[in-house]
Amino acid sequence: MSKSILVTGGAGFIGSHLCEALLARGDCVVVLDNFCSGKRENLHIPAGALRLVEGDVRQLSQFTHQIGPVDTIVHLAALISGYNSLSDPDDYEDVNIRGLLRVIEYAAAHGVKRILFASSSTVYGNQPGVALSETTAPDPLTVYALTKLAGEHLVRLYSRLAGFSHCTLRLFNVYGPRQATNHPYANVTCKFSYAAANSLPVKLFGDGEQSRDFIYVGDVVRAFLAVLDESREPLYNIGTGHQHSINQLLGRLEEIVGAPVAVQPQPEWPNDIRSIRADTSRFEREFDIRPQVSLSEGLAKTVGFFRTTAGS
């Protein structure tokens, strides 16, 4: 049975891939995006297939008539740079918390049945050596991570008060085509993929032995689709359960492009997470879904995208 779904931040990296999948399964999709980081060209969708509303999530109530009735809200709109949030905390509080509160208010006022909230693995902070489960105590190291953790609590609290169901997905290091490369805090995977695709040098911060749980955007979309139709309300880690170092990532990219990538050594980021890996057993047990795209396959797709598209 098709649904009517509002995707905030739907013209962004993850959002645009999700919108394509929702439309492919027959859902009615409304995108709200202010194009602060999202791009119109990300929505490679025939005219009339979705409703695109240009606006800021913090003024969501102003767009009621344009949005129309929706069953579900997938909330992806956010400022995402952890490091930038340390020097600009007010904007992160305003967009990530106030914006979420406007979504919650909208849901309560318009009979929305379900909210899916995109959280982040950064809420765990730096806890190397262990696979992080949903019961691991959070230890956020940035204002961005704090806003995501606060968002989880806000959605859970107001779902009880307003009566909508909810689900939070803690996304680990998502990568793939359409990811923006144009700011200094962009995801290392997209920056390195773009550099490898275009024979450019990369800046390597620290010794390169920091490790991450890299998950391809297509597998993240599959996770959103899995929880969309469920009434269950737990918190789920969305990762692969495996970790690779930045040096290993660079090696895979050199294999894909068949050439070395020049490295420019840089000091280590302050408050950098040394190692992070998801325990994905809860999600896999409840939905019997596992990531399908290997790191090498996902990087090859990403490099292919950046060979034909300028990073921005």
Show which residues are catalytic: 144
Task: Tell me the sheet residues that pair with 52.
Answer: 31
Task: Tell me the sheet residues that pair with 147.
Answer: none
Question: How many Å apart are CA 286 and CA 113, to the nearest integer?
Answer: 21
Question: How many Å apart are CA 201 and CA 192, to the nearest integer?
Answer: 9
Q: What is the DSSP pairing of strand 4-8 with strand 202-205?
A: unpaired
Other beta carbons within 10 Å of 230:
13
Sequence-separated (6 or more) residues with CB below 8 Å from residue 148: 78, 96, 119, 120, 122, 123, 140
The H or E element that residue 77 is part of is none
User: Letter for the amino acid at 139?
Assistant: D
Question: How many Å apart are CA 61 and CA 203, to the nearest integer?
Answer: 42
Q: How many helices (H) and strands (E) does the chain have?
A: 11, 13
Residue 293 tokens read as: 């795209």
The H or E element that residue 189 is part of is helix 188-197
For 4, 52, 146, 170, 268, the CA distances from 228, given in Å and listed in that order, are 11, 21, 25, 15, 39
The H or E element that residue 236 is part of is strand 235-238
Tell me if residue 245 falls in helix, strand or coil.
strand
Q: What is the DSSP letter of 199?
A: T
The H or E element that residue 282 is part of is helix 281-287
Residue 308 tokens read as: 């034909």
